[in-house]
A and B are shown apart, each in its own frame.
Chain A
Amino acid sequence: MRKSKILLTVLAAGLAASSPALAKDPLRIGVPTSLTGPYVELGEEAKRGALFAAAEANAKGGVAGRQVIVEFGDTEGNPEVGRRAAEKLVHSGFKLLTGSISSAVGLAIGAQLEKWDALYISSINKSNRLTAESCNPRMFRANHSDAMDMAAVRPWLKTRGEQDWVVIAADYAWGRDSAQEFAAAAAAVGKNVKAQLFAPLGTKDYAPYIQQIKDHKPAGIWVALAGRDAVNFGVQGKQFGLLGSVFAISQSFAVPSTIKGMGDVAEGIWGIVNYTSTLDTPGNKAFVAEWVKAHGKEPANFEAETYVAMKTLFAAVEKADSVEPEAVAKALETVSLDIPFYGKVSMRAADHQLMMPNFIGRVARVDGQLKPVVEVTVPTEQAMAPPSPACKM
């Protein structure tokens, strides 16, 4: 993080010295994210992703001649604190927002956008509600929704032998959505979901949940926990002999931040992989090389996904040649661009969901290090769930 900050400062200094071209209003992007709380590691990823994209753009003379400035606010992963942090950013002139971790924060911000004359593009929030009943003209999503993840999982789930499943999920918008979607997907392919358990965000002791899971004797578990919650569940799940004895597939669980916290326990866990540094494409290799040059390690999923949201925002600002939220929102509706690791992606105007491919993989050893490795690639046409009829712009 420090390195990227230094990098950004150097770049900013360089630009200040040689930039009569940058006379246009700068592009100010606000990142209300988890700087403290159970999602702090993920918030740091979002922060690095945003700073990297900004530095990259500024090194090339900015976005359509505009310098990119990023400012952060702490949401603590909590909708009320997050709403306040975003409000402060907006009133400080940072009206284009991205980078919140919790879907609940994204939804709380979403409801305020019209009033604030602001715009929010999600880079991490998965809850369907952002692009369904809570959709609005100023809210966008540049990451995979629960419905998209499940569209990828459904055909795969059909091929699995495990019959009985239990769901353990975080008790807020994302986890609730994820559990509901998984239960529906399981029912559609003839599997049983014997129980759905919900743990509040920030739960430290998972023993009661793990015991309940074991009582149901499932063959597989669906895990929708992230950040420190995921690490706590993973470590305790190993201690209580759950992980290792049942098959586990997850969202935001088989990711570098969790693997690092869990250690060897993580090996073999399956997961939806929205991005992994091991993606075997020339575009991704180039991106990883650039990232390693700046940070000294490979990019994690939320770093890359926040990068996608930033790039999408940049493309819209270029298209609109404006930083006014209303004009940028209009341009975002039909934006399309190239992402080094996804290829061509474009925004779906009906529900403001970015259309892109998805991946399923598992944690395996690559060069002695545990990393998510892709097993199934789901092309964009199959990865997209249809727009929700509940979304009325």
Chain B
Amino acid sequence: MEADRTGGGAVVTVPGLLLFAGFALVGPAAAFLVPSTLIQSLLTQATIYAIFALGVGILIRQNGMVSFGHAAFFGLPAYVIGAVLPLGLMPPELIIIGGLAATALMAFLVGLVIVRVHGIAFGMLTLAIGQAVYEAATRLRGLTGGHDGLSLDLPRFLFGLPLKTFQQPGSMLIVTWLVLALMLAVAFLFAKSRYGLLSEAIRDNEERVRFLGYRTLVPRALTFALSALVTAAGGVLFALYNAFVSPETVHWTASGSALIMAILGGASAPWGPVAGAFTYFFLKEAVGSFTTHWLSIIGVSLIVVTVVFPAGLVGLFDRLRPGNRSQGAANVG
């Protein structure tokens, strides 16, 4: 049923490229066209969460696995920056890239162990790892500032750009949007790559893939690492924009929100979690401004979505597309 997405034909097509270029321009256009800094700042934050949710979505789509601990990968780079920067050992750019690489490597190594288990057990393991990071963030006061959080004393220039670029909503919207587009491209290309296809095959029937003579552990761990890396990229943008990180950022509720975004949007296409993140974020903003019980409204919407559109916004889109007879059924566990 996924033949149009995963198999046959050129990976990169002209219409595909045009669509991608068009998407990449939406953010910069919004930054220039939207005059309100409030909307710009909300869009920037939503974009950062979209990258977070995209990472969670990759894991669901490629591995069929649901993580309850991805906030750890989101917050970790920020804490690494906050802890290493004051030491003055290396240039801040190197710390940022190093923080990303370290997070991905850690996820790969952890993945080698935990992707062996499936279903609820995997979810519980990710939850445990996530909460371990949360506990560390609250207990290691000297390093993390404990419950008070940590203000990041960022340098005046980063990657040759003035720090303001990363901290003013208008310019940061462009930066975050371009990173989102890049990450979407990475997710798309990975899905088409040998490892991507293999991981999907494993997701659908691991026994058979093993029988065909493939090793099934590494592709799954690699997908886990990629998913963590994308999430961590969102985390770096979060750290740059806010110059602040607190245990709340790595708490399981943050993982839960990202998961809701991914499910709301539907994980069967890379853009699903992104659409889900924007929907969730602005729904929360709209509802939150007239009631403090916004969580209940989000909860009800989630129930409606899972019952009526089990494949999220992606499923709805597939169903509405003219000439598409696809049932839009969920292909994820």
Contacts and interface: CB of A to CB of B under 8 A. Distances in A.
A229 interface: no
Contacts of B148: 79, 103-104, 107-108, 172-173
A87 interface: yes
Contact of A104 (B42, B149, B168): B149
Contacts of B138: 171, 200
A111 B292 contact: no
Nearest to B292: A36
Contact of A88 (B38, B151, B244, B292): B38
A13 B96 CA distance: 53
A83 B244 contact: yes
B246 A111 contact: no
Q: Which of B36, B37, B42 has the largest count of A CB atoms less than 10 A from its CB?
A: B37
Nearest to A129: B148
B28 interface: no
B173 to A, nearest CB: 13
A91 interface: yes
Nearest to A36: B292
Contacts of A305: none
Nearest to B151: A111
Interface residues of B, number: 24
- B interface SS class: helix
A87 B169 CA distance: 11
B272 to A, nearest CB: 25
A368 to B, nearest CB: 35
Contacts of A29: none
Contacts of B38: 88, 91-92
Nearest to B248: A80
B147 A83 contact: no
A235 B147 CA distance: 25
Contact of B243 (A35, A91, A107, A112): A112
A80 B246 contact: yes
Contacts of A81: 248
A115 interface: yes
A358 B324 CA distance: 74
13 contacts: A36-B292, A78-B248, A79-B248, A80-B149, A87-B41, A88-B38, A91-B36, A104-B246, A108-B151, A111-B244, A112-B244, A176-B141, A201-B147
Given A91-B40, A171-B138, 13 more contacts: A79-B147, A79-B246, A81-B248, A83-B242, A83-B244, A84-B45, A88-B41, A91-B37, A104-B148, A108-B148, A108-B151, A108-B246, A111-B244
Interface of A: 35-36, 74, 78-81, 83-84, 87-88, 91-92, 103-104, 107-108, 111-112, 115, 134, 171-173, 176, 200-201
Which 3 A-B residue pairs are closest in the complex by CB-CB distance?
A80-B248, A91-B38, A111-B151
